[in-house]
């Protein structure tokens, strides 16, 4: 027992004791043969990039994803919630679904506020979906490509389109991606439908990267926005007293609208100013000031003032959560420009 304990406590020590040169050599060899260093470096890079609140969970998902990808080669099933993969050649539909799942997985990795990580992931997702184009029967990514790579495979990242070899993601896939993003973000289909109509591309169209990125980003922001709106309603209404009063809801929505208008309203004039002076720095400053103004408009103080005003002289009746959500969604959606 004592011997066993000794051995066990040895296990816990991160460093190998000295005098075990041969063992540590063979260990090193094993690690490099198995590619552990490369694997961990890739994982840590991804983890740091995503800055997830739950790094352990993130690593679990990350390795699970990698394992299910390499399992596919061996023909075994994926793990847990992973996609079940069958033996033998996959039908085109199944492969498309697989690419879609992997693209969505990449899009989930980083929150959109982590802008550079998010952009990288959008690029990787775009390239993945692009492989599923018509006439791409052997469309398989080389394994390591997206697992450990942080740079976009086709470079460019952002700039001039870059439709890649597939000529652009098919419209139907693009639409599916956006639908999945919204529903995963907890947005009911009825709420997201008007937004998706604005972002819609035809099924047969080839969607260029810029449009794809715009669509994905808009859906990600929209999901956050709707969640906030739902929380806002929960704040306004007292859970015991049924739905919130219409007057209060309208006051809140009015304040929200005003703030959104502030953030966008000056947009035109600012841009003109910035263009004539050709001063990028100034433009950034003006932008920052505009956002500050907008956030001041929805400050608790302003909101409280609006709400107390509404309580005395607003319309009667109540507003339920769905109506509030729709109204809030409408404020957002009218500000999204129509694609195509």
SS3 315: coil
Stretch that binds other proteins, among 41-49, 86-94, 255-263, 273-281 (CB under 8 A): 41-49
| Dist CA 191 CA 176 (whole Å) | 16
| Cβ-based nearer residue to other proteins, 75 or 242 | 75
| Dist CA 276 CA 202 (whole Å) | 38
Counting residues that bind other proteins (by CB under 8 A) gives 40
| Cβ-based nearer residue to other proteins, 53 or 241 | 53
SS3 302: helix
Residue 145 engages other proteins in binding (rule: CB under 8 A):
no
| Dist CA 197 CA 339 (whole Å) | 9
What is the total residue count of the chain? 340
Report how far apart the first and last C-alpha atoms of the chain are (Å, whole number): 74
Stretch that binds other proteins, among 36-44, 117-125, 165-173, 283-291 (CB under 8 A): 36-44
Shortest distance (Å) from residue 53 CB to other proteins: 8
Shortest distance (Å) from residue 108 CB to other proteins: 16
Stretch that binds other proteins, among 52-60, 106-114, 192-200, 273-281 (CB under 8 A): 52-60
Strands 318-319 and 244-245: antiparallel
Q: Would you tell me how many other CB atoms lie within 10 Å of the CB of residue 26?
A: 11
Residue 39 engages other proteins in binding (rule: CB under 8 A):
yes
| Cβ-based nearer residue to other proteins, 76 or 113 | 76
Judged by CB under 8 A, the residue of 25, 32, 41, 291 near other proteins is 41
Stretch that binds other proteins, among 9-17, 208-216, 225-233, 326-334 (CB under 8 A): 9-17
Residue 51 engages other proteins in binding (rule: CB under 8 A):
yes
Question: In sequence order, what E strands does 68-116 have?
Answer: none
In terms of Cα–Cα distance, which of 335, 329, 113, 334 is closest to 228?
329
Residue 227 engages other proteins in binding (rule: CB under 8 A):
no
Q: Is the distance from CB of 166 to CB of 133 less than 8 angstroms?
A: yes
In terms of Cα–Cα distance, which of 113, 289, 133, 305 is closest to 217?
113
Segment 16 to 35, residues that bind other proteins, using CB under 8 A? 27, 30-31, 34-35
Residue 104 engages other proteins in binding (rule: CB under 8 A):
no
Residue 48 engages other proteins in binding (rule: CB under 8 A):
yes
Segment 54 to 73, residues that bind other proteins, using CB under 8 A? 54-57, 59-60, 63-64, 66-67, 70-71
| Dist CA 279 CA 299 (whole Å) | 30
Which residues in 158-181 are b (16+ Cβ under 10 Å) and which e? eeeebbbebebbbbebbbbbbbbb
| Dist CA 283 CA 270 (whole Å) | 7
Residue 76 engages other proteins in binding (rule: CB under 8 A):
yes
| Cβ-based nearer residue to other proteins, 9 or 276 | 9
**Secondary structure letter of residue 338 according to DSSP:** P
Stretch that binds other proteins, among 8-16, 85-93, 132-140, 292-300 (CB under 8 A): 8-16
| Dist CA 340 CA 248 (whole Å) | 38
> Which residues bind to other proteins, rule: CB under 8 A?
1, 4-5, 8-9, 11-14, 27, 30-31, 34-36, 39-41, 43-45, 47-48, 51, 54-57, 59-60, 63-64, 66-67, 70-71, 76-77, 79-80
């Amino acid at each position: 027992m004592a011997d066993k304990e000794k051995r066990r406590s040895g296990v816990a020590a991160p460093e190998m004791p000295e005098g075990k040169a041969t063992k540590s050599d063979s260990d090193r060899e094993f690690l490099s043969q198995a590619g552990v260093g490369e694997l961990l470096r890739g994982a840590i890079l991804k983890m740091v990039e995503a800055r997830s609140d739950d790094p352990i969970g993130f690593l679990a998902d990350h390795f699970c994803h990698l394992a299910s990808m390499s399992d596919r080669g061996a023909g075994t099933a994926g793990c847990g919630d992973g996609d079940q993969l069958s033996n033998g050649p996959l039908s085109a539909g199944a492969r498309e679904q697989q690419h879609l799942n992997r693209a969505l997985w990449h899009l989930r990795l980083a929150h959109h506020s982590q802008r550079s990580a998010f952009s990288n992931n959008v690029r990787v997702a775009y390239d993945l979906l692009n492989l599923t184009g018509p006439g791409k029967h052997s469309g398989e990514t080389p394994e390591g490509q997206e697992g450990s790579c942080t740079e976009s495979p086709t470079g460019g990242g952002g700039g001039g389109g870059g439709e890649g070899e597939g000529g652009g993601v098919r419209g139907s896939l693009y639409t599916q991606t956006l639908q999945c993003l919204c529903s995963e973000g907890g947005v009911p289909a009825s709420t997201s439908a008007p937004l998706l109509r604005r972002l819609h591309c035809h099924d047969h169209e080839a969607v260029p990267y810029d449009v794809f990125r715009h669509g994905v980003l808009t859906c990600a922001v929209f999901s956050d926005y709707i969640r906030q709106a739902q929380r806002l309603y929960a704040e306004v209404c007292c859970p015991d007293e049924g739905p919130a009063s219409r007057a209060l809801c309208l006051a809140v929505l009015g304040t929200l609208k005003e703030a959104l208008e502030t953030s966008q309203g000056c947009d035109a004039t600012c841009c003109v100013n910035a263009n004539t002076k050709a001063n990028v720095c100034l433009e950034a400053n003006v932008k920052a000031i505009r956002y500050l103004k907008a956030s001041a408009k929805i400050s608790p103080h302003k909101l409280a003032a609006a709400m107390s005003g509404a309580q005395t002289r607003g319309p009667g009746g109540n507003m339920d959560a769905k109506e509030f959500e729709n109204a809030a969604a409408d404020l957002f959606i009218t500000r999204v420009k129509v694609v195509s």
